[in-house]
Structure 1
């Protein structure tokens, strides 16, 4: 059985490496589709938390489509591993995803969450920056940056990231509370 394991790994690796060249593969997945852009506009104008939550779920669903069944499976496996607190396994799956689909913003975002869960803040910030380079409207990545900077006691940076997330994603009580708490520390006290 061990004699076949390296061969199987080689076949799987070759398959995954060929995917970005396939029509409809992850290289063609776009963060800013017309549908997600329209949903972002509706989210910014949402009048209540229920409506905002529904629209946000639609956006996250759109962002989770890589254009490749294999890459979508790696994303699912990484997220599933995070749900059961198997962070190392999640990082393995999500690193494979970002290696094979580096233009897929949601893969980077999921990897950032795994790093944050493992309290590896430097790699988390790097992955969040990659997410935002690919999808500047990724409110989850902005919220994640706010959380990391808050954890690292960098209130001005946390405030800025949370503010940018709040502009895209209204009706988030956690962001509102963080902004209120950080306002004095980030902006300084006025006399």
Structure 2
């Protein structure tokens, strides 16, 4: 049997694979020995035993001719979300403000969030109602509660689902001594908007003055659930809890 140099053997190991037909065509072929093991058969040279695990033949094509792997297809970009309506934007902004109010770390941060919420509640969405509300506020500040109340009566008729109108009218009624009417307006405002912590705080104050301490305590507690840093509601709960419910057993 002929022998080949190490360089020639290396070259032969990189040749294309073939079967028995390759041997017939005079090309190198990788075969198995009946006694076990593999060998490389080269026409004109003979069998060349291969070590276990040795790769006998290289790729069928040179590396430069190998097809390049295809890039993974890019994931399709999600379709753009539809723009929010004015009402949806307002609801989103209010939800964020209430989250800030509930998670405020101190009273100052809570007051900032509460003020922003109150400013949004003061917007009726109607130019006519806003004009009447501005005039009612001017009359109230000028010491003309009768005129202010008359304007606010028109407001709650024109916009019966605007809680701010009832809150403002309750304030004017309370200044005139109409405590029952003020309490009724505050209850209406809290029913229309259960998160009206300002209406609940005012309700607690008036109810306590009227001697209805249980009603006042309930209002204070509801206000604290919305605005945990509300100092007035916190003091009201501390002041009335034992008096209304007694010492726990």
TM-score (norm 2): 0.61
Distance in 1 of aligned mates of 2:122 and 2:96: 16
Larger radius of gyration: 2
Deviation of 1:135 after TM superposition, in Å, equals 0.6
Bigger relative CO (Cα 8 Å, ≥ 6 apart): 1
Compute the RMSD of aligned alpha carbons. Answer: 2.1
Q: Secondary structure at the match of 1:81?
A: helix
Q: Secondary structure at the match of 2:160?
A: coil
Deviation of 1:190 after TM superposition, in Å, equals 4.4
**Which has the larger share of strand?**
2
Q: Secondary structure at the match of 2:153?
A: helix
**Which has the larger share of helix?**
1
Unaligned runs of 5+ in 2: 1-86
Which among 200, 203, 222 is matched to residue 145 of structure 1? Answer: 203
Q: Secondary structure at the match of 1:102?
A: coil
Query: Which runs of structure 2 are paired with 1:1-191 in the superposition (5 Å)?
Result: 33-190=91-248
When residues 84 and 180 of structure 1 are mapped into structure 2, their CA distance, relative to the original with a 3 A threshold, is farther
Deviation of 1:150 after TM superposition, in Å, equals 0.3
Deviation of 1:83 after TM superposition, in Å, equals 2.4
Instruction: Give yes or no for contact 2:213–2:244 (8 Å, CA) kept in 1.
Output: yes
Cα deviation digits, residues 86-124 of structure 1 (max 9, x gap): 211211111111111111111111111111121211211
Unaligned runs of 5+ in 1: 1-28
Q: Secondary structure at the match of 1:189?
A: coil
Deviation of 1:38 after TM superposition, in Å, equals 2.4
TM-score (norm 1): 0.78
Instruction: Give yes or no for contact 1:159–1:179 (8 Å, CA) kept in 2.
Output: yes
